[in-house]
Amino acid sequence: MFIVTGFEPFAKFKSNPSERIAKYLEEEYKEVRAEIVPVKFEEAKEYARKIIGQNPEAVISFGLADGRPQISIEKIAVNIMDSSTPDNSGFKPFRMKIFDDGEDAYSSTLPVYRILDALHENGIPAYISYTAGTYVCNTLFYSLLYYARKMGKSIPVGFVHLPSTEKMALKRRVPYVEYETMKMAAKIILDVIYRLSSPWP
């Protein structure tokens, strides 16, 4: 089983492309199961624990990074919760650790450079990002890696930030990537991961 996650809408956004992408992948592949995570710091940590505890073959999370011009494959998760924007429960952490016993940072266990090369080979705009921020996206990313280590799971775990879609960017001067391109990118990412471990239909 391969688990993909997306997030519910948050802040000013009425929709979240990461939620749509996760559900799309679940519909496309019988081996994939989607989890839609609340945009809440503490609940994201609990979701991560439950997801890793289900013994998936791999976990990839998608999130929204409004304003970024390309799909960004995250390399590093940091042990910090800090935000001036409240989560969907109204919580605004300030310079807090995600886990007191966690490392300062963990590195993605996805084959990030192979993924980047595959996306570029298919003409998809993407880059490696070395900061997933300090909002709920980073908290989920870090927590997944934390629990994978704690439970002794040597599996691919990582995070991909998606820009706004063309519809979201309408009437707003922000960069975007077309939703159909995001769908293609998500399938390529899955293919790269599974080609490293087992046949993928």
For 100-155, the pLDDT digits (tens) are 999 999 999 999 999 999 999 999 999 999 999 999 999 999 999 999 999 999 99
- Average of pLDDT values for 78-102? 97
Strand partners, 78: 105
Summarised one tens digit per residue, pLDDT across range 153-186 is: 999 999 999 999 999 988 788 999 999 999 999 9
Catalytic residue among 19, 26, 35, 137: 137
Catalytic residue among 27, 103, 161, 178: 161
pLDDT mean across residues, the chain:
95
Asked about 161 being catalytic, the answer comes back as yes
Percentage above 90 pLDDT, the chain: 90
- pLDDT surpassing 80 at residue 196: no
- Residue 186 CA: distances (Å) to CA of 70, 72, 99, 135, 171: 13, 12, 30, 22, 26
Q: CA–CA separation, 89 vs 110, rounded Å? A: 30
Catalytic residue among 74, 121, 178, 180: 74
Architecture of the domain delimited by 2-195: 3-Layer(aba) Sandwich (3.40)
Q: Phi and psi for 131 in degrees, rounded to 5? A: -150, 120
Confidence of residue 200 (pLDDT cuts 50, 70, 90): very low
The domain locations on the chain are 2-195
